[in-house]
A and B are shown apart, each in its own frame.
Chain A
Amino acid sequence: MSDERKIRVLVAKPGLDGHDRGAKVIASAFRDAGFEVVYTGLHQTPEMIVNAAVQEDVDVVAMSVLSGAHMTLFPRVKGLLDEAGADHMLLTGGGIIPEDDVDELEKRGVGRLFGPGTSTSDAIAYVNEWFATTHAN
Chain B
Amino acid sequence: MSKVEKDVLSRTDLEGLVDDRDQQIAELKARLAEWEESYDGIARRDVLFSTVSGREVKPLYTELDHASDDDSVGYPGMYPFTRGPYATMYRTRLWTMRQFAGFATAEETNERYKYLLAHGQTGLSVAFDFPTLMGYDSDHDRSLGEVGVCGVAISSLADMERLFEGIPLDQVSVSMTINGPAIILFCFYVAAAERQGVDVSVLRGTVQNDILKEYQAQHAWIYPPEPALRCIVDMFEWCSEHTPKYNPISISGYHIREAGATAAEELAFTLRNGFEYVERGIARGLDVDSFAPRLSFFFDVHNDFFEEIAKLRAARRIWARGMKEKYGARNPDSWRLRTHCQTAGVTLVAQQPENNIVRVAYQAMAAALGGTQSLHTNSMDETLALPTEKSVRIALRTQQVLAYESGVANTIDPLAGSHYVEALTDDIERDALALFEEIDEMGGVVPGIEQGWFQQEIANSAMRQQREVESAERVVVGVNHFTEGSGDIEIETLRIDPEVEQRQVAKMAEMRSERDDTVVTSTLAALTEACRADENVVPYILDCARAYCTLFEIRAAMEEVFGSYKEPVFF
Contact A15 B385 (CB under 8 A): no
CB distance from A28 to the nearest CB of B (A): 6
Q: Which of B442-496 contact A (CB under 8 A)?
A: 459, 462-463, 466, 469-470, 476, 478-480, 489, 493, 496
Q: Which residues in window 110-137 of A have CB below 8 A to B? A: 115-117, 119-121
Q: What B residues does A98 contact at CB under 8 A?
A: 384-385, 493
Cβ of B145 and Cβ of A15 under 8 Å apart? Answer: yes
Q: From residue A125, how far is it (CB to closest CB) to chain B in Å?
A: 12
A39 is contacted by which of B146, B220, B260, B569 (Cβ under 8 Å)? B569
Which of chain A's residues 1-51 have a Cβ closer than 8 Å to chain B? 11, 15-21, 23-25, 27-29, 31, 37, 39-43, 45
- State the CA gap A15–B146 with chains docked (Å): 8
User: Is B350 an interface position by the 8 A CB rule?
Assistant: yes
CB pair B479–A24 under 8 Å, yes or no, is no
- Indicate if B133 sits at the interface (CB-CB under 8 A): yes
Task: Give the residues from 89 to 108 in chain A that come closer than 8 angstroms, CB to CB, to chain B.
Answer: 96-99
> How far does the alpha carbon of A73 sit from the alpha carbon of B144 in the complex, in Å?
9
Taking a contact as CB atoms under 8 Å apart, the answer to whether A21 and B259 are in contact is yes
- What is the chain B residue whose CB lies nearest that of A20? B219
Q: Are A17 and B130 interface neighbours, CB within 8 A? A: yes
Greatest chain A CB density within 10 A among B145, B348, B382, B493 is at B145
Contact B489 A68 (CB under 8 A): no
Indicate if the CB atoms of A39 and B571 lie closer than 8 Å: yes
Find out whether the CB atom of B459 lies under 8 angstroms from the CB atom of A16: no
A117 touching B351, Cβ below 8 Å: yes
Q: A15-B130, A21-B259, A115-B350 are in contact. Are A72 and B569 (CB under 8 A)?
A: no
Interface: A69 (CB within 8 A):
yes
The reply to whether B571 and A117 contact each other, CB–CB distance below 8 Å, is no
Q: Are A16 and B131 in contact (CB under 8 A)?
A: yes
Residue interface bits B554-571, CB-to-A below 8 A is 1, else 0: 000000000000010111
Q: Which residues of A contact B259 (CB under 8 A)?
A: 19-21
For residue B243, CB closer than 8 A to chain A, the reply is: no
A109 and B351 alpha carbons, distance in the complex (Å): 25
Q: How far in angstroms is the closest Cβ of chain A from B458? A: 8
Whole-angstrom distance between the alpha carbons of A31 and B133 in the complex? 32
The verdict on B218 contacting chain A, using a C-beta distance below 8 Å, is: yes
CA distance A119 to B470 in the complex (A): 6
Q: Does B365 contact A (CB under 8 A)?
A: no
Q: Judge whether B113 is part of the interface by a CB distance below 8 angstroms.
A: no
**B142: A residues at CB distance < 8 A:** 16, 45
Which residues does chain A contribute within 8 Å of B161, judged by CB atoms? none
Number of interface residues of A (CB under 8 A): 39
Q: B349 an interface residue at 8 Å Cβ cutoff?
A: yes
Give chain B residues whose Cβ lies under 8 Å from the Cβ of A37.
Answer: 571
Given A25-B462, A116-B348, A68 contacting B496 (CB threshold 8 A): yes
* Beta-carbon contact of B567 and A42 below 8 Å: yes
Contact A116 B349 (CB under 8 A): yes
Interface string of B304-328 (1 = CB under 8 A from A): 0000000000000000000000000
Q: Determine how close the nearest CB of chain A comes to the CB of B460; give it in whole angstroms.
A: 9
Say whether A96 contacts B385, CB under 8 Å.
yes
Number of interface residues of B (CB under 8 A): 47
- Chain B residues contacting A115 (CB-CB under 8 Å) are 350, 383-384
Interface centre among A17, A37, A39, A40 (most CB of B within 10 A): A17
* B148 closest partner in A (C-beta): A68
Q: How far is the CA of A131 from the CA of B381 in the complex (A)?
A: 34
Closest chain B residue to A18, Cβ basis: B219
The one of A15, A23, A96, A97 in contact with B571, judged by C-beta atoms closer than 8 angstroms, is A23
Give every chain B residue within 8 A of A72 (Cβ-Cβ): 144-146
Report the bound CA distance from A27 to B571 in whole Å.
Answer: 7
CB distance from A120 to the nearest CB of B (A): 6
- Please state if B134 and A16 are interface contacts (CB–CB under 8 Å): yes
Contact A18 B149 (CB under 8 A): no
Kindly state whether residue A84 has any CB partner on chain B within 8 Å: no
Q: Are B567 and A69 in contact (CB under 8 A)?
A: no
Contact of B150 among A23, A68, A116 (CB under 8 A): A68
Contact B146 A42 (CB under 8 A): no
Q: Determine whether the beta carbon of A116 is less than 8 Å from that of B146.
A: no
A16 with B130, Cβ < 8 A, contacts A21-B260, A67-B149, A98-B493 known: yes
A25 to B133, CA, bound (A): 24
| Beta-carbon contact of B386 and A68 below 8 Å | yes
Instruction: Give the CA-CA distance A17 to B151 in the complex, in Å.
Output: 12
Contacts A16-B130, A25-B466, A117-B476 given; indicate if A73 touches B567 (C-beta within 8 A). no
Given contacts A27-B571, A68-B150, contact A18 B479 (CB under 8 A): no
- Point out the residue from A27, A40, A45, A120 that lies within 8 Å of B470, measured CB to CB: A120
Q: Does B258 contact A (CB under 8 A)?
A: yes
| In the complex with contacts A16-B146, A67-B150, A116-B383, A21-B571 CB distance below 8 A | no
What residues on B are CB-neighbors of A67 within 8 Å? 130, 146, 149-150
CB distance from A134 to the nearest CB of B (A): 26
Q: Does B383 contact A18, Cβ atoms closer than 8 Å?
A: no
Q: Are B149 and A117 in contact (CB under 8 A)?
A: no
Q: Report the separation of the CA atoms of residues A21 and B256 in the bound assembly, to the nearest whole angstrom.
A: 10
User: A132 to B264, alpha carbons, bound, how many Å?
Assistant: 44
Q: How far is the CA of A72 from the CA of B150 in the complex (A)?
A: 13
Establish whether residues A117 and B134, one from each chain, have CB atoms under 8 Å apart when the complex forms.
Answer: no
User: Is B136 among interface residues, defined by CB-CB distance under 8 A?
Assistant: yes
- Give the complex CA separation of A31 and B480 in angstroms: 23
Which of B136, B150, B346 lies at the interface centre, i.e. has the most chain A CB atoms within 10 A of its CB?
A: B150
Q: Name the A residues within 8 Å of B348 (CB-CB).
A: 116
Decide if A69 touches B571 in the complex (CB within 8 Å).
no
**Cβ–Cβ < 8 Å partners of B150 in chain A:** 17, 67-69
Of the A-B pairs whose beta carbons lie under 8 Å apart in the complex, a sample of 15, sorted by A's number, is A16-B142, A17-B146, A18-B214, A18-B219, A21-B346, A21-B462, A25-B459, A25-B463, A28-B463, A37-B571, A67-B150, A96-B382, A98-B384, A115-B383, A119-B480
Q: A residues engaging B (CB < 8 A)? A: 11, 15-21, 23-25, 27-29, 31, 37, 39-43, 45, 67-69, 71-73, 76, 96-99, 115-117, 119-121
Closest 9 CB pairs of A and B: A72-B145, A18-B219, A41-B569, A16-B130, A68-B149, A117-B349, A27-B571, A116-B383, A69-B145
